[in-house]
Amino acid sequence: MNGEIIQIIEKMQKNEITEHYIYKKLSQWEKSEKNKRVFEEISNDELKHYNELKRYTLKDIKPGRIKIFITLLLTKLLGFTFTTKLMEKGEDKAIEEYQNIILSNFELRNIIEEEKKHEQALLEILDEERLNYVGSMVLGLSDALVELTGTLTGLTFAFQNTKMISLSGLITGIAAALSMAGSEYLSTKAEESSRNPLKSAIITGITYILTVFILILPYLFTDKYIFALILALIFSILLVLIFNYYISVAKNW
């Protein structure tokens, strides 16, 4: 093999050992026995593929410590479904870059194809509780965006004072969050679904309040009320884009 192919295999080898440690740590964190077994199996697969690639490079490659740290941090914040599927998307892009070289090597191609099929099958088995409450998050986010952007626009032109606008917006937002949480509790309880009504209400309320804080943030850092309103509208668009991206990755939409 020439130097270029060896360099590519070394990158793949580093990725395999890095993900081995990530999945190993996730298996240690996970309480669900089913999810724990899935993470352990993927972790063992990654180590197996690392050793298979090592036969080409004859090198021990160190894992990417920064990637491990960032991935585990994102897992704590956003859940393992999002981060694991995001990792797989990153792998797919890397494979596309090396496709010509990979296709020219039968054994290397088989390793990658086997890994992708097996990992995809295992990831589909994972069951993360927080994804059952996506509907509650959507309700809190969408309602806060619709109601508060309208409220902030009216308050901006009525008061023309950022401190008054932020205070009024905060009070209105918290009151609306409590109302929305109560409605979600009653709605979920009436549905007799598998979701916990209290948890659904809390998630809706927290999502609503976080959205409120983000939208009134510009009013706390500037005296220019029109500029603050523009920033609030931009933040609302960004929130929709970020949340849609999160859901599309986590749900494979």
Residue with more model confidence, 7 or 225: 225
In this model, does residue 142 exceed pLDDT 60?
A: yes
Handedness of CA 171, 182, 215, 158 (dihedral sign): negative
What lies within 8 Å, CB to CB, of 23 at 6+ separation is 39, 40, 42, 43, 46, 84
What lies within 8 Å, CB to CB, of 145 at 6+ separation is 211, 215, 236, 239, 240
Residue 214, pLDDT score: 94
The reported pTM is 0.71
Q: What is the residue whose two structure tokens read 């209105």?
A: 172
Q: Which residue in 167, 143, 145, 144 sits closest to 155, CA to CA?
A: 167
Residue 107, pLDDT score: 64
Q: Tokens at residue 75, please? A: 């897992």
Best-predicted range by mean pLDDT (115-129, 212-226, 237-251): 212-226
Mean pLDDT of the chain: 84
Q: What span, in angstroms and rounded, lies between the C-alpha atoms of 156 and 180?
A: 24
Residue with more model confidence, 185 or 114: 185
Q: What span, in angstroms and rounded, lies between the C-alpha atoms of 38 and 28?
A: 12
Quick one: average pLDDT of 88-113? 66
pLDDT cut 70: percent of the chain above it? 83
What lies within 8 Å, CB to CB, of 212 at 6+ separation is 144, 148, 169, 170, 173, 174, 176, 177
Q: What span, in angstroms and rounded, lies between the C-alpha atoms of 189 and 23?
A: 36
Quick one: average pLDDT of 90-116? 66
Q: What span, in angstroms and rounded, lies between the C-alpha atoms of 218 and 233?
A: 10
Maximum Cα–Cα distance across the chain: 72
Residue with more model confidence, 121 or 12: 12
Could you tell me if 138 and 130 are in contact, meaning their C-beta atoms sit under 8 angstroms apart?
A: no
Q: How many other CB atoms sit within 10 Å of the CB of residue 99?
A: 12
**Backbone phi and psi for residue 223, each to the nearest 5 degrees, phi listed first:** -95, -10
Domains and their CATH numbers in the chain: 3-127 (1.20.1260), 131-250 (no CATH)
In this model, does residue 97 exceed pLDDT 70?
A: no
Best-predicted range by mean pLDDT (1-15, 66-80, 117-131): 66-80
Residue 139, pLDDT score: 80
State the alpha helices, DSSP H only, in the chain: 3-29, 33-57, 65-78, 80-97, 99-103, 106-125, 134-159, 162-191, 197-221, 225-250
In this model, does residue 226 exceed pLDDT 80?
A: yes
Quick one: average pLDDT of 123-147? 77
Best-predicted range by mean pLDDT (32-46, 79-93, 117-131): 32-46
The three-point CA angle 233-81-95 to 5° equals 95
In this model, does residue 21 exceed pLDDT 70?
A: yes
Could you read off the pLDDT of 23-65 as tens digits, one per residue? 999 999 888 888 888 888 888 988 988 898 888 888 899 999 9
In this model, does residue 125 exceed pLDDT 80?
A: no
Residue 18, pLDDT score: 93
Residue 218, pLDDT score: 94
Could you read off the pLDDT of 184-216 as tens digits, one per residue? 888 888 876 677 888 889 989 999 999 999 999
